Each structure stands twice: as structure tokens, then as C-alpha cells.
Chains A and B, each alone.
Chain A
Amino acid sequence: MLPLERVRNEERLRRAVLAGDQTAWRALYDGAYQELWSYVVWRCAGLRDLAEEVTQETWLIAVRRIREFVPAQAGFIAWLRGIAAKVLQNHFRAIARRPRQTLSGDEAAPNIDDEREQAEVIGQALAELPENYEAVLRAKYLDQSAVAQIAADWNETPKAIESLLTRARDAFRVAYEKKAGNDVAIKKGEP
């Protein structure tokens, strides 16, 4: 869909939703559901229960905040992704603040081998990344776009995208190791 056509269509649907038109809401919902779901699953590192919770929360916020959606600024799916990212950030921050049970250290191996815990750490590390790092990783690995394609879409040179990808991967690794390290320290009962 051409950008102008997309803006017109989404603006028309937005106005109809504000007038209480359920069919228009259905059109927006069906048009974006799958893409939002894939994004949330990726951000939750494949944890289904968390992905379902975040997806529901995102849609409920979206319908209550639809007045603030401006199609000329960003597409509906980009707006939804912004909400989902904020929901996830709040979720992971709440988890990080929660006091965790301190273990004596005699328990089983402290490395994060549990699949769920590992997925949570990956999700938390992703939530820590700056927006452009997260976006470039998503474009490359989730959407599987070629570097040249990302460069064309973002109006950048392929070299700039390669460099951004390197920095993003590096930041992702650092965030992951920090989170994983904290996890191990907490399990060991270290301060």
C-alpha cells in the first residue's frame, strides 16, 4: 500500500473507531494482529503466556488511546509496537525490582540453564536496548531483511547499517551478560 493511501485508510478507520464503529476496529485489528503477535513473541523470546498477556494489554491500551494515534506520523503497526515495547519494559522493570528468594548456594548449578529463565533474560536484555538497536536487530533477524533492503528503507548506506548491526549485537550481548550475571549473583545470595 502506498504511504499516502495507507495514511488515508488508517485515518478513515481511526475516525470511524472514535465514532464507535466496531467494523472499523475489526479492520484495524485483523490487519495488524498477526504482525503484532510475531513481534511480541520475538520480544518475549517465545514465552507464550507472557506474549498473550502483553498482546492483550497492548490492544486494550490501543483502543483506549486511539485518539492519540496519528497515521501521518507512523503506521498503525508501528504505533502498536511502541505500546507493546512500553508494556514489556514496564513488565521487566517490575520483575527486576521484585525481591527474589536468596538461595544458600548449595543448590544446583547457578548458570541459567532453565529455558524459561533464559528466555526471560533475553527478553529483559532486548528491553534494555535503545530503540534503533532493537529495530535493526528486528529488521535483520525477525523480518529477515537484507542489509541493502534495510539501508534503502531507512535511507542509509549499507555500511552504516552494518555498523549499526555490529553495535546492536554488541549491546545485546553486554545487556544479556549483565542480566545473566545478576541472575547468578542473586541465586548465589551475593549482594
Chain B
Amino acid sequence: MNELPLPEPLDDFLNRPPSLASDAATRESIFQKSARQLPPRRAERWPLLLSCAATFMLALLSAYYLYHRFPEPKNDIVEIKKAPDDAPKPPAPPPILVKAPPHPRDLEWSAFDAEDDPARVSLYFQAGDMYLERFDDMQSALRCYRQAIHYCDARDLEINPKDNWLVMALKRDQRKEK
């Protein structure tokens, strides 16, 4: 097969691939940052399970002992049975299904995977709002808003009266930088 020669920069790039030594300080700093995002460490569970089982057994034994020591008095009350109601019961109303709102984390990942930037920007803003309003999670909200502002175009950087204070501040900073 006849192949067109590659332009010189590409030929150079392919035949002499760039290689840079990784910086040990940067490597450690990235590790520390990522390790801070780990889920909180789960405590060893077996002592907790053992104590729960022991408490349960103790409660069971105490109930058994108390029941046999003080037997339940005979019930002299005569139960009056109500005549069966022939009237047909109205059908139970159908259960109301309430759709749970999405978690901001899911929105954040949808934004990351979005194919086009306007969708990405909108999803990041929604995720940021949700982190802030529902979970009071400033750090995650900030992360999402920064991503949204990174991908939005100049028109989206206009301050909108609907923006919250955090978005306004970030937009202002971004405009100053530009």
C-alpha cells in the first residue's frame, strides 16, 4: 500500500516519543490529594457484631425468665366480634410513585461524560447547585462550578441574577483573568 510520508513533526513525534521524568514531589502531592478523597475508613466490624449478638441473647434470656416468673394473667375480657361488613370496600388508591431526585454525583459524572460542552456546562451547574442546596457541600459545589466555568463560553460568563453568590464570584474572577 502506498503511504504518504508523515509531516516532519509527526514523524519525529512517533519515532522519538516524548519522555519526561516524573517529578517525585508532584507524584506525592497528587497521591496526598487523591488519598483525601478516599471514603472514610470502615472500622473493624467483628467486635460490634459480637456485642450486638451478646446483647440480643441477654435480652432473650431476661424475657424468658421474667415471663416464667410472672405468668401473664388470664384475659377475662370477652371479645365481641363485629358482624362482617358486606358493603364493598372502595378500591385502595394507587400508590403515588415519587421519583427520587438524582444525586449530584451522578450529574457530575454525566457532565464529565457529556459529548458537547453546552450540555456539560449545564450539568456541572446543576450538580453544583445541588451539592450546595441539598448537602451544603461547598467543596464539591466549588469543584463543579469551576468545571462549568472552565467549559462555558464568553456569553455564559455574563452574570445572571439567578446565579448564586458563589457562581457570581467565580464568574467575576474568570472575567478578570480574561
**Interface, chain A (partner B; CB < 8 A):** 17-22, 25-26, 29, 33-34, 37-38, 41-42, 44-46, 48, 51-52, 55-56, 59-65, 86, 90, 93-94, 97-99, 118-119, 122, 125, 137, 141-142, 163, 166, 169-170, 172-173, 176-177
Within the complex, the shortest CB–CB distance from A23 to chain B, in Å, comes to 10
12 contacts between A and B (CB under 8 A): A20-B41, A21-B38, A38-B19, A41-B19, A42-B18, A44-B18, A46-B19, A63-B34, A64-B37, A90-B112, A141-B15, A170-B3
Q: With A45-B18, A118-B9 given, is the CB distance from A60 to B33 under 8 Å?
A: yes
Across the interface, which residues of B come within 8 angstroms of A26, CB to CB?
31, 35
B38 to A55, Cβ gap below 8 A?
no
A37 to B34, Cβ gap below 8 A?
no
Dominant secondary structure of chain A at its interface with chain B = helix
Given A20-B41, A26-B31, A48-B20, 19 other A-B residues pairs in contact with their CB atoms under 8 A: A19-B42, A22-B38, A25-B34, A25-B38, A33-B27, A41-B18, A42-B17, A52-B23, A56-B26, A59-B31, A59-B33, A62-B34, A63-B37, A64-B105, A86-B112, A90-B112, A141-B14, A163-B1, A172-B10
Residue from B20, B27, B120 whose CB has the most chain A CB atoms within 10 Å: B20
- How many residue pairs between the two chains, A and B, have CB atoms under 8 Å in the bound complex? 106
B117 to A41, Cβ gap below 8 A?
no
> Which chain B residues in 7-48 approach chain A with CB under 8 Å?
7, 9-10, 13-15, 17-20, 22-23, 26-27, 30-31, 33-35, 37-42
Within the complex, the shortest CB–CB distance from A58 to chain B, in Å, comes to 9
9 nearest interchain CB pairs?
Answer: A46-B18, A20-B41, A63-B34, A19-B42, A141-B14, A63-B37, A59-B34, A37-B22, A20-B39
Within the complex, the shortest CB–CB distance from A81 to chain B, in Å, comes to 15
Within the complex, the shortest CB–CB distance from B26 to chain A, in Å, comes to 6
Report how far A97 CA is from B112 CA in the complex, Å: 17
Q: Within 8 Å of chain A (Cβ to Cβ): is B158?
A: no
Within the complex, the shortest CB–CB distance from A140 to chain B, in Å, comes to 8
Q: Which of B67-75, B82-90, B147-155 contacts A (4 or more CB under 8 A)?
A: B147-155
Within the complex, the shortest CB–CB distance from A94 to chain B, in Å, comes to 5
Report how far A141 CA is from B15 CA in the complex, Å: 6
Partner of B10, one of A55, A166, A176: A176
A122 to B10, Cβ gap below 8 A?
yes
Across the interface, which residues of B come within 8 angstroms of A177, CB to CB?
7
Q: Within 8 Å of chain A (Cβ to Cβ): is B109?
A: yes
Q: Within 8 Å of chain A (Cβ to Cβ): is B173?
A: no
B39 to A33, Cβ gap below 8 A?
no
Within the complex, the shortest CB–CB distance from A21 to chain B, in Å, comes to 7
A63 to B6, Cβ gap below 8 A?
no
> Which chain B residues in 144-178 approach chain A with CB under 8 Å?
150-151, 153-154
